[in-house]
Structure 1
Amino acid sequence: MFDIVIFLLLLSMLIILYRFLKGPTLSDRVVSFDVMSIMGVSLLVLLALYFQRSLYLDIALVFGLIGFLGATIFGRFIEKGL
């Protein structure tokens, strides 16, 4: 069960990576960055459940905070500039 979910999550991350690299606008790239960070956190949580290691949950928490801050900073840059 975990194998199928992890495979589908990685496949969808590859599709989002394509949008990140080829996005026509900067807004598309920011949204795809945010989606990839959320999917990365989800992948780390699934790996924590699969391997029964709580260390991955700590890493997922930090990665989630960094992804949120990154998306917020990019959004502010698009809106007003630095």
Structure 2
Amino acid sequence: MILTTAIHIALAILMLALILTAIRVIIGPTLADRVLALDQLVAIAIGFIAVIAVKTSFELYIDIALALGLVGFLTTAAFARYIYVKAGREDET
């Protein structure tokens, strides 16, 4: 009973975080804000996967969450590199 209630509360909080973060992705205002919001969306997705793993007792979801965390880190690093290179080119002109 307590676990079921905690799972539902966690899913509701994650859904609220997902909506607020999606608004940040859409509104911006800068590219860096959007990249950070996308990184936060990855973290929220990992949270969803972890809660569903607890709810279903299916341990493979934890491996999926770990893989998503690694991919999310690499994409954030790639976006950061892109922003850095783009800012460097704008300074030279």
Query: TM-score normalised by the shorter chain: which range applies?
Result: over 0.9
Question: Any stretches of 5+ residues in structure 2 without a counterpart?
Answer: 1-5, 87-93
Please name the residue that 1:37 is paired with: 42
Aligned partners of 1:66 and 1:21: how far apart in 2? 22
Number of residues of Structure 1 aligned to a counterpart in Structure 2: 81
Structure 1 residues 24-60: Cα deviation after superposition (integer angstroms, max 9, x where no partner): 1000001101111111111111110111001111111
Q: 1:71 aligned to 2:76?
A: yes
Structure 2 residue identity aligned to 1:24: P
TM-score, normalization: structure 1? 0.92
TM-score, normalization: structure 2? 0.82
Percent of aligned positions with the same letter in both sequences?
33
Aligned partners of 1:8 and 1:42: how far apart in 2? 10
Instruction: Give the counterpart of 2:64 among 59, 65, 78.
Output: 59
Structure 1 runs of 4+ aligned residues shifted over 4 Å read none
Bigger Rg, structure 1 or 2: 2
Instruction: Give the counterpart of 1:4 among 9, 18, 24.
Output: 9
- For the aligned residue pairs, the C-alpha RMSD in angstroms reads 0.9
